[in-house]
Structure 1
Amino acid sequence: MGLRLIIAEKPSVAKNIADALKIKNKKDGFFEGNGYVITWAFGHLLQLFDAKDYDKKMEKWQMENFPFIPENFRYKVKTDPKKRGKEDFGARKQLRIINSLMKRQDVQMVISACDFDREGQIIGDSIIYQLNSQKPVYRLLLNEWTAEEVLKGLEKIMPNSEMKPLQDAGISRQWADWMIGINLTSVATLKYQKGSGKALNIGRVLLPTLKIIYDRDKEIEHFVPEDYFKLAATFSTDDGRVYEGIYIENKIEKFKNRADLEAVQQALINRKAVIVDKKVELKKEYPPYLFNLSNLQGFITSKFKGWTSDKVLKVAQSLYEKKYITYPRTASVVLEESLVEKTAKVLDKLKTGLPYEHEIQFSKKKRVFDNSKVESHSAIIPTYVIPKTLSNDEAIVYHAIKNRFIMQFMPIAEYEETRITTKVNSSDIKGMFATKGKVQLVEGWKKVEDIKSNDVILPLININELVNIVEHKITAHTTTPPKQHTEKTLLRVMETCGKGIENEDSNEIMAAILSGYSIGTPATRAETIKKLITVGYITMENKNLVCTELGKNLVETFPVKDLFDLEFTGRLEKTLSEIEKRKFTKEQFLHLIVNFTVNAVQTIKNSEDVTLSKVTRAKKKFEVVGKCPLCGHSVIEGQKGFGCSNWKKGCKFVIWKNDKFLATMKKKPTKTMVKKLLAEGTVLVKGLTSKKGSKFDAHLKYEKNIDNEYFSWKMEFAEKKA
């Protein structure tokens, strides 16, 4: 029987599969043993051709060459981000290794083990089908990389042909974004920008996201604050029990006219009141749902400083690849019903030793297990692999996921809500005073994160009881504008295209997520926010996201209004998810995108000539810090060090900013220090740290080595002051 070749999306995942199969034999670019060969990609190894790869005339952007739609989309080895236009050496090497493994006589089948999503599907498929393998191709679909799941999954591999709808959706997304991005970015840059060097980015997901932030900024700008007044009174029983009530008349508690409340206040003098109604209700408070990616990003970015949604995704991805959590790029907040047994096992492992362990009880709850509310992937939960060590960032994300999971199986929190209505004995007072208070009876799941309630505790008072009016006051308030978007609130709007965003548990949210009606996917939203900041359309002020001048101008000027429309974008994303469900074809979708692109290019060409952005290139000024001890030319400060300006002619003099010798003593070279060193040949450096952690001062010299052109540090200890 021949070998099975597995292609994983990343080296770390290949290692997880090799560990599960107990394969220790690692070679250059693959593992081999026990009937398997396991190799890997580094995410995408291939990328779509650039326009200039199809046609030389596209090397220079010229308006008459657009729209440009290739007859057939083609792929090439991905380019190296550090070497513009050059292909990535590592990607080329790995493709050769995969190709030679696929051609081996003893390999009988190929198994794609890339992530179980659109992107993962095309990462594997683009490699396998580009290399033209004639061998049968299968698909391994897993939600976590624990040994147990890998072994189970390998028994249930399916023909990759069954994944055609997912492949079609992935390719449709990729080709559509290329067509819209390349054509509209090029034409918009030519039309609206003066100067060259930086493009005006236009994208299918970028622009509607920008519009959400723009709209909120405009709401705030046009907001007109209004004053309103409230009347509060303090009541007490004859034996000194005290409570407060707010005046309500015809269901209104915020009054625009202060005089109305002053008349009521006047009528309170020397009056008694009576409790006319008291309602006590026992209420239940359920824990928040399990995390999907957007909720996890929102939770972490709003709770912890310095976190972005992009960072949350990177950390969650790392936890997933280390086998600690399930697949993070999910839109679901519930689990598939088939996971009941596995979930019970995970809970058993995680609850051990917790102070409230005796309160954690597993049960198959509809709020946790519900097939009808799972979209592709179940919610994010921990696996049975308990981490031994975690970095600080990993610990923050892991514990959030673990706590949210444990909460589901703790008792439901219960509280008693009391509503009291107090009426003042005066015919001049038409309204009543309303009082509300809560008493937490069962803390339940709130113990997991020590959530305390700031509830008003009311004294024990009864209906028909007479009370005294102790105090009353009118307070002035002003309506506040809507708050600026944060990553948390923006992700919510993107996830649902603005449907039902007020209530996290709303059915509207569930319906929007399940139908795929959204802006972008869980995997791409963080990247979109990051890109909006990078290209200069929005900026971050503390945790708030705000439009820049360029962002505002773009929204107000760019003529292809469909690209800003949440409905339009939501429909496109929904269509992609319908391709996955075989309700729409790739051909229909691409036909739609080609027509949209051609019309959009024409619209931009016909629009008014406006300058949105001016690109000016300032010449870099280098500060001279002294003379080179080797050749006498100027030493200048660069980004990474202080080096000789004569370096093009071969001068090797440089003091690196991350100098390793100084780093051992917890120091970096400063401009002042280098200036003094070059002027006097020696410099006194204070506050160096020894290996044992104590501080000391020393004179440093930077001298040329006798046997080569490089320099080394010499150190003399400074005399201690008496």
Structure 2
Amino acid sequence: MKLIIAEKPSVSRNIADALKIKGKQDGYFEGNGYIVTWAFGHLLQLYDAKDYDEKMSTWKMENFPFIPQAFKYKVKSDPKNREKPDRGAQKQLKIIHGLMKRPDVDGIISACDYDREGQVIGDSIIYNLRTDKQVYRLLLNEWTPAEVMNGLQNVKPNTELRPLQDAGVSRQWADWVIGINLTSVATLKYQKGKGKALNIGRVLLPTLKIIYDRDREIETFVPENYYKLQGTFKTQQGDEYDGTYTEGKDDKFKAKETLDEIKAMLEDKSGVIHDKQVQKKKEYPPFLFNLSNLQGHITSKYKGWTSDKVLKVAQSLYEKKFITYPRTASIALEESLVGKTAKVLETLSEGLPYKDEIKFVKSKRVFDNAKVDSHSAIIPTYVKPKKLSPDEQHVYDAIKNRFIMQFMPVAEYEETRIETKIKDVALKGLFISKGKVQLVEGWKKVEKVQSKDTILPLVQANDPVDLVKSEVTTHTTKPPKQHTEKTLLRVMETCGKNFEGDGDDEESVHAILSGFSIGTPATRAETIKKLKDVGYIESENKNLFCTKLGRDLVDTFPIKDLFNLEFTGRLEKSLHDIEKRTVTKQEFLQLIFDFTSHSVETIKGEKDVTINEVTSQRRTNEVMGKCPLCGHAVIEGQKGFGCSNWKNGCKFVIWKNDKFLATMKKKPTKTMVKALLKNGVTTVKGLTSKKGNKFDAKMRYEKNPDNDYFSWKMEFDK
């Protein structure tokens, strides 16, 4: 009997389905020679500083730097009360431990995600619970039944994944040491009043600096005027076209007088076609998606999307077996996937109007081991979804379309360049006209990509043309644009190397594959979200910019290495090298410990400056109404609207993060609570169904007959 431990319940269900296991017990499936159980992501977390030493329960400057002799793990904390362990995690760990000790279990298979984080999740559970049984690793890129069965035939000894575990643990311990120490001393040094700490992190600060730098570029930008000379010409057939006066390669002039003089010389002049060049050019589809490119594509295409949301939706599609592993940096597929990819393409091509144009080809653009690091690019699986939410549909369609594009004809266009020379005038330059005509639509059919064609008239070299009019136009240089999540992800992915490009250039690909980046595909979205949550950045429409707190932190915090893209890139590269066995875990951690100790001493020696003052605002304790259980006043608290008689045991409360309302994308408001307490019912507008549709409903909050807790009830007008 083999025990399989999956990272999440949904994945364990996929494995059980593949093994045709019907028997579900409390916390696991069993049948056909396997037991399949699950974690809920991390069941264990690192000790807090105070768990190692009681003196660390209060922050005092003299207690830092604090670096444990050995790192220890405990059951993860309850999100509502960090002092207590999470009951669900505690229960599931007990179940897993019991299953590991069963005498009929002769081997354990970790089936957590095939990445650093997944390795740490599985290993922390298995080795902290201790076992002398053989441990194996199931390494999969998708959870389709065929892949699960094939993977179980080819499990590896978990010892072979030690470098991945070392990299995962090194990342976890390093972030703990830097975060605990520098967040604490920075808060003590630069913040007045109690409240949220000044978050300092290895990935957080360089990401903040990218946005800060762009803000500063925009603020210090000085606009400059430049001028162009435009000419309109007419052929002998009566067709008109426009051209721009160009000297060498320059068509922008700083002195308007220069162009005014040329314009005056053009009066009553005619021209001649000096040269005409027509080139056929090919336009290849964009590469397959990695996570950052998918996040950039979706956040720039649809309103209201964040990179964090894209990751969550992609993860859901992955766990439902519809796409391959999403947390990847690769834009190509392993060459071993040729056969499987052909079958997926055949399945997805069915019923498409351009099916006859889709041809499977083994090309280097799609299949290239040199462009794959750990995981191949994101593609659909052979399992076609029958029903998706609107959000899932957006993300799935993007991945499916990008995949199909690779096997459509290459788009082709004709580019025409005409040089028009003015006769009888000694000018240094010529008028240049460029035109483009789409010849083969090819892959652009998949998403109906529109090409902007500029069609020029049919002329030949030496044809005479008339100058109909000429005009000097004024233009102003524009500042760089604010970063969006798309452009920010691009900089993070390549540590700023060629980040203005589209990600297809060789240097960018090399930077990504060598691990020279800020964070990983899995953590970048989380970093952007955290920057917003801690108040360092804000977003308006799709643009990101620093808050005053964010700017003050960059200006004041003395550890400049933490803002440096190169420094952070080298740390991430070291983690990557631990996976590749060219750097040891001990070497990396010693570097981190030395850096942290030195940084703490540097901050201690700096001048005392306040960059954040937290003022505690007394609550007015506005009464919402009478408690339906005891009649006392219901008032607003930090986490909910509760009875003021709670000290005497009254349990009435409406939680602000109520899970039932959250499934319909709603939170309770003061207005809702007041109406409920007064009338017993409230009308809630703009609820969201599972399908993504908006609806209104009347809601009641009624006491359960067998206990003192309350549940929501919905009613609809007939």
TM norm structure 2: 0.92
Letter in 2 for 1:609: D
Structure 1, residues 595-619: CA drift from partner, whole Å, max 9, x if none?
1111111111111111111111101
Whole-angstrom CA distance in 2 between matches of 1:546 and 1:311: 20
Instruction: Tell me the SS of whatever aligns to 2:241.
Output: strand
Question: Does structure 1 retain, via aligned residues, the 8 Å contact 2:627–2:677?
Answer: no
Aligned to 1:611: 610
Whole-angstrom CA distance in 1 between matches of 2:610 and 2:673: 46
Aligned to 1:369: 367
Whole-angstrom CA distance in 2 between matches of 1:295 and 1:42: 28
Aligned to 1:510: 509
- Written as runs of structure 1 = structure 2, the 5 A alignment for 1:496-575 is 496-503=494-501, 504-575=503-574
Aligned to 2:692: none
2:337 to 327, 333, 339: 339
Question: Does structure 1 retain, via aligned residues, the 8 Å contact 2:626–2:677?
Answer: no
Letter in 1 for 2:599: A
2:250 to 249, 252, 271: 252
Whole-angstrom CA distance in 2 between matches of 1:644 and 1:492: 49
Question: Does structure 2 retain, via aligned residues, the 8 Å contact 1:267–1:426?
Answer: no
Letter in 1 for 2:112: C
Question: Does structure 2 retain, via aligned residues, the 8 Å contact 1:110–1:138?
Answer: yes
Question: Does structure 2 retain, via aligned residues, the 8 Å contact 1:673–1:683?
Answer: no
Whole-angstrom CA distance in 1 between matches of 2:668 and 2:515: 51
Question: Does structure 2 retain, via aligned residues, the 8 Å contact 1:659–1:669?
Answer: no
Letter in 1 for 2:602: T
Question: Does structure 2 retain, via aligned residues, the 8 Å contact 1:659–1:668?
Answer: no
Instruction: Tell me the SS of whatever aligns to 2:67.
Output: coil
TM-aligned CA distance change 1:461 to 1:91, over 3 Å: same
Shift of 1:426: 3.1
Aligned to 2:185: 187
Shift of 1:321: 0.4
Structure 1, residues 496-520: CA drift from partner, whole Å, max 9, x if none?
0011223221111011011100000
Aligned to 1:476: 474
Aligned to 2:404: 406
- Written as runs of structure 1 = structure 2, the 5 A alignment for 1:26-425 is 26-425=24-423
Shift of 1:623: 2.7
Letter in 2 for 1:165: P
TM-aligned CA distance change 1:432 to 1:523, over 3 Å: same
Question: Does structure 2 retain, via aligned residues, the 8 Å contact 1:47–1:76?
Answer: yes
Question: Does structure 2 retain, via aligned residues, the 8 Å contact 1:677–1:701?
Answer: no
Shift of 1:642: 7.1
Whole-angstrom CA distance in 1 between matches of 2:257 and 2:5: 77
Instruction: Tell me the SS of whatever aligns to 2:77.
Output: coil
Aligned-pair Cα RMSD in Å = 3.3
Aligned to 2:15: 17
Instruction: Tell me the SS of whatever aligns to 1:263.
Output: helix
Shift of 1:267: 1.2
Letter in 1 for 2:118: G
TM-aligned CA distance change 1:285 to 1:31, over 3 Å: same
Structure 1, residues 188-240: CA drift from partner, whole Å, max 9, x if none?
11111111132111110001111111111111111000011111111011221
Whole-angstrom CA distance in 2 between matches of 1:686 and 1:320: 33
Whole-angstrom CA distance in 2 between matches of 1:5 and 1:75: 23
Shift of 1:422: 0.1
TM-aligned CA distance change 1:654 to 1:502, over 3 Å: closer
Aligned to 1:692: none
Aligned to 1:488: 486
Letter in 2 for 1:22: K
Letter in 1 for 2:613: K
Structure 1 vs Structure 2: percent identity of aligned residues? Answer: 68
TM-aligned CA distance change 1:684 to 1:581, over 3 Å: closer
Question: Does structure 1 retain, via aligned residues, the 8 Å contact 2:308–2:529?
Answer: yes
Shift of 1:392: 0.5
Question: Does structure 2 retain, via aligned residues, the 8 Å contact 1:294–1:495?
Answer: yes
Shift of 1:429: 2.8
TM-aligned CA distance change 1:276 to 1:597, over 3 Å: same
Letter in 1 for 2:583: F
Instruction: Tell me the SS of whatever aligns to 1:86.
Output: strand
Letter in 2 for 1:188: A
Instruction: Tell me the SS of whatever aligns to 1:389.
Output: coil
Structure 1, residues 103-162: CA drift from partner, whole Å, max 9, x if none?
111111111111000110111111111111000111110000000011111111111111
Question: Does structure 2 retain, via aligned residues, the 8 Å contact 1:194–1:611?
Answer: yes
Whole-angstrom CA distance in 2 between matches of 1:142 and 1:515: 22
Aligned to 1:621: 620
TM-aligned CA distance change 1:452 to 1:90, over 3 Å: same
Structure 1, residues 394-417: CA drift from partner, whole Å, max 9, x if none?
000000000000000000000000
Bigger shift: residues 639-648 or 495-504: 639-648
TM-aligned CA distance change 1:38 to 1:710, over 3 Å: closer
Question: Does structure 1 retain, via aligned residues, the 8 Å contact 2:672–2:684?
Answer: no
Question: Does structure 2 retain, via aligned residues, the 8 Å contact 1:4–1:109?
Answer: yes
TM-aligned CA distance change 1:385 to 1:69, over 3 Å: same
Whole-angstrom CA distance in 1 between matches of 2:533 and 2:148: 39
Whole-angstrom CA distance in 2 between matches of 1:582 and 1:687: 57
Structure 1, residues 508-556: CA drift from partner, whole Å, max 9, x if none?
1011011100000000000000001111111111111101111111111
Whole-angstrom CA distance in 2 between matches of 1:688 and 1:210: 35
Aligned to 1:597: 596
Instruction: Tell me the SS of whatever aligns to 1:7.
Output: strand
Whole-angstrom CA distance in 2 between matches of 1:89 and 1:701: 29
TM norm structure 1: 0.91
Letter in 2 for 1:50: D
Letter in 1 for 2:556: T
Letter in 2 for 1:461: V
Question: Does structure 2 retain, via aligned residues, the 8 Å contact 1:267–1:428?
Answer: no
Whole-angstrom CA distance in 1 between matches of 2:395 and 2:94: 37
TM-aligned CA distance change 1:78 to 1:284, over 3 Å: same
TM-aligned CA distance change 1:674 to 1:334, over 3 Å: closer
Whole-angstrom CA distance in 1 between matches of 2:659 and 2:327: 40
Instruction: Tell me the SS of whatever aligns to 1:84.
Output: strand
Whole-angstrom CA distance in 1 between matches of 2:711 and 2:158: 59
Aligned to 2:691: none
Instruction: Tell me the SS of whatever aligns to 1:522.
Output: coil
Whole-angstrom CA distance in 1 between matches of 2:697 and 2:85: 49
Instruction: Tell me the SS of whatever aligns to 2:114.
Output: coil
TM-aligned CA distance change 1:701 to 1:534, over 3 Å: closer
Letter in 2 for 1:406: I
Structure 1, residues 653-678: CA drift from partner, whole Å, max 9, x if none?
889999999x99x9999749958995
Question: Does structure 1 retain, via aligned residues, the 8 Å contact 2:326–2:378?
Answer: yes
TM-aligned CA distance change 1:76 to 1:654, over 3 Å: closer
Whole-angstrom CA distance in 1 between matches of 2:156 and 2:653: 58
Shift of 1:492: 0.4
Question: Does structure 2 retain, via aligned residues, the 8 Å contact 1:102–1:110?
Answer: yes
Letter in 2 for 1:619: R
The answer for unaligned runs of 5 or more in structure 1 is: 690-694
